[in-house]
Amino acid sequence: MLKDICFAAIVGFGFAYACNSPLKTLILSAILAAIAYVLRFSLLNFGINNIAIATFIASFCIGCLGILLAKLSKTPAEIIAFPALIPMIPGIYAYKAILNFISFTRTENIELKNKFLTLFFDEFFTTIFVSISLARH
């Protein structure tokens, strides 16, 4: 898990750097990204079994922490908090949804079509709801 926390921090730092954020906010974005990952991971494994709700709670907390850190660093909260949310983008769910849709269109077996269509909608709506959870903050 420590490796994943470090990668989340690197992504938060890298995205903040790519957006030309002030140097003093790069570390804050990395720390918030690590906190966001730990919070969502903890919620998913020790309480809430829904990734959209866990992402919503984690992004809300990061938004609140971002506001506090923004006041301390005298920068807009978006500069600190937004890069911290990037590691929680549901890319794997979107990828799986596309793969299931392609499998659905290529198969002739009706049972497999039903399976792939069900999996497509499951992954697709997970992607949508997690993205909406992130976009609200």
pLDDT in tens, 67-113: 999 898 888 888 888 888 888 887 888 999 999 999 999 999 999 99
Residue 124's pLDDT is 94
Q: What is the mean pLDDT of the chain?
A: 88
pTM: 0.77
Give residue 120's pLDDT band: very low, low, confident or very high (50, 70, 90): very high
pLDDT at 136 over 80: no
Q: According to the per-residue pLDDT averaged within each range, which of 1-5, 10-14, 116-120 is highest?
A: 116-120
Residue 76's pLDDT is 87
What residues contact residue 111 under an 8 Å CB cut-off, 6+ apart?
Answer: none
d(CA 9, CA 86): 10
Quick one: CA dihedral 17, 21, 23, 27, positive or negative?
negative
Amino acid at 77: A
Residue 21's pLDDT is 85
